[in-house]
Amino acid sequence: MKIRKTALCAAVALLILLCPVLHVRAEIDDSVARVQCNEKLVALTFDDGPHPRYTDRVLKVLADHGVKATFFMIGQNVKYYPEAAKHVAEAGHEIGNHTYSHPHLSRVGEGELAEQIRKCDGVIREVTGVTPVLFRPPEGKHGIRQCALVQECGYRQVLWNVDTLDWSGCGTDKIIDRVLRNVSGGDIVLFHDYVGKKYHSADALEVIIPALQKDGYRFVTVSELIAAGTPLPPTY
Ligand SMILES: [Zn+2]
């Protein structure tokens, strides 16, 4: 009888211990791909940096037009190019976590993903003094389980709804066209500030930013955009 009681107590204790975990796991996907809002707000985002050449070029264009944006950094690149990461922080842009080494998430288990997020978080804090709160998964791969894990790591997952495809090496005009044709208030636009091919995004931004400002748009960070309306999950 005593053994049965002890076993019951152990089972209840285990359930109580697991409850917070089960609760978090049951949460819905709160990934953000765009925000429903009444204002003409747009969040420009830059993935895969920092890089001393590309990031600084983007920073110059943003500064020239008084625009704040969000940079989802790879931890390894922050370690390689700490000055470029510091320039982003000093200019007042938002910094997000884009994993430590940008692995294919389909080949990464939950434990490794948590470690990737933790390591990237550590190096961003150490180099820039910033505590990031937004996470963007490599290649936009996401799911409910992953979203819960990201939440457990203290982050909110952010995707996008306008893709410039600037990583593909496409020309300046195509990037400009993709953004100006598709953008509307509450959108999150995906750029990169580190690509292996010819880099056209900074030149495209020289056209995109003034064109949208002329049309009444205002550029904000992703956190500011989320605070300004109702965040919506991806539909793709
Ligand atoms: Zn990436």
* Domain edges within the chain: 29-232
> Measured in angstroms, how far is the CA atom of residue 23 from the centroid of ligand 1?
30
The pLDDT of residue 118 = 98
> Measured in angstroms, how far is the CA atom of residue 40 from the centroid of ligand 1?
27
* Fold entry, domain 29-232: TIM Barrel (3.20.20)
Give CA 141 to chain center in angstroms.
12
- Asked whether the beta carbons of 43 and 219 are under 8 A apart, the reply is yes
pTM above 0.85, yes or no: yes
E strand or H helix that includes residue 123: helix 110-128
Instruction: Flag whether pLDDT at 1 surpasses 90.
Output: no
**Residues annotated as part of the active site:** 47, 192
Residue 55's contacts (CB-CB under 8 Å, 6 or more residues apart) are 46, 49, 71, 81, 84, 87, 88, 193, 194
Instruction: Flag whether pLDDT at 186 surpasses 90.
Output: yes
For 6-54, how does the pLDDT look when each residue is reduced to its tens digit (9 = 90+)? 554 455 445 444 444 444 444 577 899 999 999 999 999 999 999 999 9
The pLDDT of residue 228 = 98
The pLDDT of residue 220 = 98
> Measured in angstroms, how far is the CA atom of residue 138 from the centroid of ligand 1?
4
The pLDDT of residue 10 = 52
> Measured in angstroms, how far is the CA atom of residue 136 from the centroid of ligand 1?
8
For 112-152, how does the pLDDT look when each residue is reduced to its tens digit (9 = 90+)? 999 999 999 999 999 999 999 999 999 988 888 888 999 99
CA distance 211 to 214: 5
Characterise 67 by phi-psi region: left (phi > 0), alpha (psi -120 to 50), beta (else). Answer: beta
The pLDDT of residue 27 = 59
> Measured in angstroms, how far is the CA atom of residue 158 from the centroid of ligand 1?
12
**Residue 197 — pLDDT band, cuts 50, 70, 90?**
confident
Mean pLDDT, the chain, rounded, equals 90
